[in-house]
Chain A
Amino acid sequence: MENPFRSEAAAFRFLLITIGAFALIVVASLISTTLGIVVWLLLSGAAVWVYLSQRGAAPEREHVEHVGGPDEHRVLVVANETLGGDELLSAISTLALTKAARFLVVCPALNSRLKTWTSDEDPARAAAQDRLDATLTRLASVEINVRGEVGDSDPLVAIEDAMRTFHPDEVVISTHPPGKSNWLESGIVESVRVRFDVPVTHVVVDLDSRS
């Protein structure tokens, strides 16, 4: 169940619900004490029903709020091994040419489960940082407004983090081709499409075809 104090907007909605609920209880109580208790019981039952029906359910589709000026278009680019791929750089360049876009490139520090459990993250983060630096340098050379960061080892968590800090208007996810991509196997692209109400572009980079 979503926490009612998760954000200011959620807290404000909860306040409005509280006002409505207590107004009903007070009005019913002024008519009759019994009616007041009945209304209180009904509202309490409704609250329990909402809690039970939401418990364990898939998270609701989240609205990613647009921030910045009306003309500003923010693009979140998520990639790891395919970060330097020509197809991805071409997609970024196309977006940069057609819109006044700001880019955030997130490179999840992919790691094995065992290394994650044992907090052995430094090599994975360093490797991700190297790929990120190379890509940022390449994008800067063609004057694209971009910054980057290394994300969580779980790509979906890394994307969720970026959603909250960057508020993108569009997401570009780069993966290996089907059959070679762990991200596609785990349904990252579909998960992001289901969870957030921003357009998601899937760019396939076939590194093998270049070699």
Chain B
Amino acid sequence: MSAHAESLHDHHGPPEANQSSRVDARTLGMLLFIGSEIMLFGSFFAAYFFVRVVNPSAPAEWPPPPYEFPVFVAGVNTCILVTSSFTMHWALQSIKRGQRAGFLAGMVLTFVMGLAFLCTQVIEYLNVGFNTGDGAFASVFFGLTGLHGAHVAVGLSLLLMVIIRGSRGHFSPEHHHGVELPGIYWHFVDVMWIVVYATVYLL
């Protein structure tokens, strides 16, 4: 036992916020953000389904000949991104257990895989053989995958901040919100990619 007693009202600075919600305020903020993101993606999917299904002049084949989507490369990319969610989960579990090496390794692996996904997508764009002016299908293809790519880029920025903070000794089993929230965002980005890949590339 140690002589240590403190009352939270003794700290300097503004008073502690009185929590009265079952959801932490920062987590709630991330939830609201993701809610708005789902609506944003929803609008892009609405455009996609209109172009592909509802539009009377929608092409019978998807994508319209002679164009083709790089399904295999995108599939490999999907595997990379999904794997990065596992490493993200591992990183968070590690910091919750106080294992800093596992936490940092998981974060770096997640970042590297996310970067690989983004680079592969850029290379895919350069070699896909059509551009945004080649029809509505091309517009929605670049729109949806580009929107997702932008989210991956934002996610990478968050991951990079976590890595920098983590390497400076930040985060602990008690204080890891800065890891948890980018983790939620990263899984959301993954979920959206599963939907994008399945609907745009495969179906």
A interface residue numbers (CB < 8 A to B): 3, 5-9, 11-12, 14-15, 18-19, 22, 25-26, 29-30, 36, 65, 67-69, 96, 129, 132-133, 136-137, 139-140, 143-150, 152, 154, 157, 160-161, 164-165, 167
| Residues in chain A near residue B82, CB distance under 8 A | 15, 19
B183 touches A (CB below 8 Å): yes
Q: Interface residue count for B (Cβ, 8 Å)?
A: 42
Indicate if the CB atoms of A136 and B191 lie closer than 8 Å: no
Contact among A7, A18, A65, A137 with B27 in the assembled complex (CB-CB below 8 Å)? A7
Indicate if the CB atoms of A26 and B202 lie closer than 8 Å: yes
Q: Give CA–CA (A65, B96) in the complex, Å.
A: 9
Q: Is the interface of A mostly helix, strand, loop or mixed?
A: helix
| Residues in chain A near residue B195, CB distance under 8 A | 18, 22
Do A145 and B2 contact each other (CB < 8 Å), given the known contacts A15-B190, A36-B203? Answer: yes
Q: Give CA–CA (A152, B19) in the complex, Å.
A: 7
CB of A7, distance to nearest CB on chain B (Å) = 7
| Residues in chain A near residue B98, CB distance under 8 A | 68-69
Task: Mark each residue of chain B from 1 to 26: 1 if its CB lies under 8 Å from any CB of chain A, else 0.
Answer: 11111111100000010111011100
| Residues in chain A near residue B191, CB distance under 8 A | 11, 14-15, 18
B interface residue numbers (CB < 8 A to A): 1-9, 16, 18-20, 22-24, 27, 30-31, 34, 82, 85, 88-89, 92, 96, 98, 173-174, 179-180, 183-184, 187-188, 190-191, 194-195, 198, 202-203
